[in-house]
Amino acid sequence: MAKQLTHLDEHGRARMVDVGHKEDTLRLATARGAVHMQPDTLQLIMAGTIKKGDVLGTAELAGVMAAKRTSDLIPLCHPLMLSQVSVTCTPNPAENRVDIEATVRLTGKTGVEMEALTAVTVAGLTIYDMAKAVDKGMRLTDVRLVRKEGGKSGDWRSEPGD
**Marked catalytic residue, from 99, 129, 155, 162:** 129
3-state helix/strand/coil string of the chain: CCCCCCCECCCCCECCCCCCCCCCEEEEEEEEEEEECCHHHHHHHHHCCCCCCCHHHHHHHHHHHHHHCHHHHCCCCCCCCCCEEEEEEEEEHHHCEEEEEEEEEEEECCCCHHHHHHHHHHHHHHHHHHHCCCCCCCEEEEEEEEEEECCCCCCEECCCCC
Q: How far, in Å, are 5, 7, 40, 101 from residue 12 at the CA level?
A: 9, 9, 50, 35
The amino acid present at 97, given as its one-letter code, is R
To the query of whether residue 129 is one of the catalytic residues in this protein, the response is yes
List the catalytic residues.
129
